[in-house]
Amino acid sequence: MSDSTGNFPCINCGADLKFEPGQNALKCPYCSAENSIENDESVEIIENDYLSKLKELKENANESDTIEIIAVKCDNCGAQVSLGENKTAGECVFCGSHLGGQGKSVKEIKPESMLPFKVSKKEAAVCFSQWLKKRWFAPNKLKEFARMDGLKGIYSPYWTYDSNTTTQYRGQRGEYYYTTESYTEEVDGKSVTKTRQVRHTRWHSASGTVKNTFDDLLITASGNLLPKYTEALEPWDLENLVPFNEQYLSGFQVESYTVELDEGFEKAKSRMEPVINSTIRNDIGGDEQRISSKNSAYEDIKFKHLLLPVWISAYKFKDKIYNFMVNARTGEVQGNRPYSVAKIVLASLCAALIIGGGVLIYLYSEGKI
């Protein structure tokens, strides 16, 4: 049980208990006492009505569905995080800058579910080390700068969206047909007439209506992590979501969402579009398809707000900030890193030598040199 400050004191020595990744327990860092975390299995993780929630937010209604946290904003990169344990100073996990100053009260939609940390800090460092070894074009000195010991655990905010879509479209169906074409070719000094099949496309107008169903489309609500990296961290084992429990947050930072609920759905629609286009093309049929116009209606929209665990570290190399992140459920590593110009030049020279050597061998075998 937490005390009045929101901490979880050890019953043996009074120190703050921290959540132990992978063990579903709070552990004392001093006397190693453990308190198991019991999840209430009667609590159902529900999906909320999207349009109703937007109306509530506009009217500032249903305060019970919001949570108030004390967040500290990074002056360097703009990240806004709750440091936990009533701290207002620390280090920004996104850029490594010092966080300090007055915390700000932030009210946001309460996360209803989460995935607790499963991969430990030590395991995450090993995953990153292995990932770094495979980056052949990284500078040799990078290992000295990449702070594997500087990993910070943070719960990153996400939205999931469900929707049924109905799309009306207009387009064209292309069907191939072939004609025989004559052409001349010089063979042994003589002009020879030959024929070949030439493909053409006959286009027909097409229109129709298609339906799609989307379930748990995951959208990051963080404005500090690039989507190409967060999407590459997928998949997440969302089937193992547990109800939101503050005990899992002990010892970790929590990032406030900066992508609002409606903004997240617009991003979700962008991810739906390629799937809808594929369905339209299948409906049009033929050998080729053209989509000239479409109009999608989104119905039965549901959402969840959840927290997902990430190990992240920022490091500076030649005056530029880089960061990497580890999926704290699977160990998947993503991030940006510098490139070694010398290694790229060397690889290019080696490739040129190999190609040049191959050409010389071919010419020699053909008796041309």
Averaged pLDDT for residues 68-87: 66
pLDDT at 207 over 80: yes
Q: What is the pLDDT of residue 223?
A: 76
pLDDT band at 30 (very low <50, low <70, confident <90, very high): confident
Could you tell me the pLDDT band of residue 151, with boundaries at 50, 70 and 90? confident
* 310 CB burial (10 A radius; 0-12, 13-18, 19+): buried
Question: Which pLDDT score, from 0 to 100, does residue 18 have?
Answer: 86
Contact 174, 206 (CB under 8 A): no
Confidence of residue 261 (pLDDT cuts 50, 70, 90): very high
Mean pLDDT of 140-144: 55
What average pLDDT does range 32-60 have in this prediction? 84
What is the rounded distance in angstroms from the CA atom of residue 104 to the CA atom of residue 82? 9
Look at 323 and 46; give whichever has higher pLDDT: 46
Please name the residue ranges forming H helices in 107-220.
121-133, 142-145
Q: What is the mean pLDDT of residues 41-62?
A: 84
What is residue 353's predicted lDDT score, i.e. its pLDDT? Answer: 63
Taking the C-alpha atoms of residue 147 and residue 93, their distance in angstroms, rounded to an integer, is 11
Query: Which pLDDT belongs to residue 4?
Result: 36
65 vs 120, more confident: 120
Which of 90, 95, 106, 120 has its CA nearest to residue 18?
A: 120
Q: 333 phi and psi, to 5 degrees?
A: -115, 135
Whole-number mean pLDDT of the chain?
81
Higher pLDDT, 38 or 193: 193
Confidence class for position 341, pLDDT limits 50, 70, 90: very low
Across residues 334-343, what is the average pLDDT? 57
Which tens digit of pLDDT belongs to each residue from 81-117? Answer: 766 554 545 667 676 666 666 566 667 888 999 999 9
Token couple for 177: 């047909």
pLDDT over 60 (residue 168): yes
Do 243 and 111 touch, CB atoms closer than 8 A?
Answer: no
Whether residue 164 contacts residue 275, with contact meaning beta carbons closer than 8 Å, is answered with no
**pTM: predicted TM-score of the whole model, two decimal places:** 0.79
d(CA 101, CA 347): 48
More confident residue, 88 or 133: 133
Average pLDDT over residues 175-183: 94
CA-based nearest residue to 143, from 315, 321, 311: 315
pLDDT computed for residue 63 by the predictor: 63
Cα–Cα distance list, 61 to 58, 255, 369 (Å): 8, 24, 85
* E-only strand ranges, the chain: 18-20, 25-27, 34-36, 48-49, 66-73, 80-82, 90-91, 98-99, 104-109, 113-114, 152-187, 190-220, 242-243, 253-255, 288-317, 320-327, 333-335
> What average pLDDT score do residues 233-237 get?
93
The residues spanned by each domain of the chain are 1-38, 46-169+206-338, 340-369
Strands 113-114 and 288-317, how do they pair?
A: parallel
pLDDT, position 145: 47
On whether the CB atoms of residues 81 and 256 are closer than 8 A, the answer is yes
Which pLDDT does position 20 carry in this prediction? 87
Whether the bond between 338 and the residue before it is cis, its omega within 30 degrees of 0, is no
Residues β-bridged to residue 71: 104
Q: Does residue 2 have a pLDDT over 90?
A: no
Q: What per-residue confidence (pLDDT) applies to 355?
A: 65
- Res 26: pLDDT: 86
- Classify residue 224 by its DSSP letter: S
Instruction: With beta carbons less than 8 A apart as the criterion, state whether 167 and 294 touch.
Output: yes
- Once rounded to an integer, what is the mean pLDDT over residues 308-327? 79
Share of the chain above pLDDT 90, in %: 39
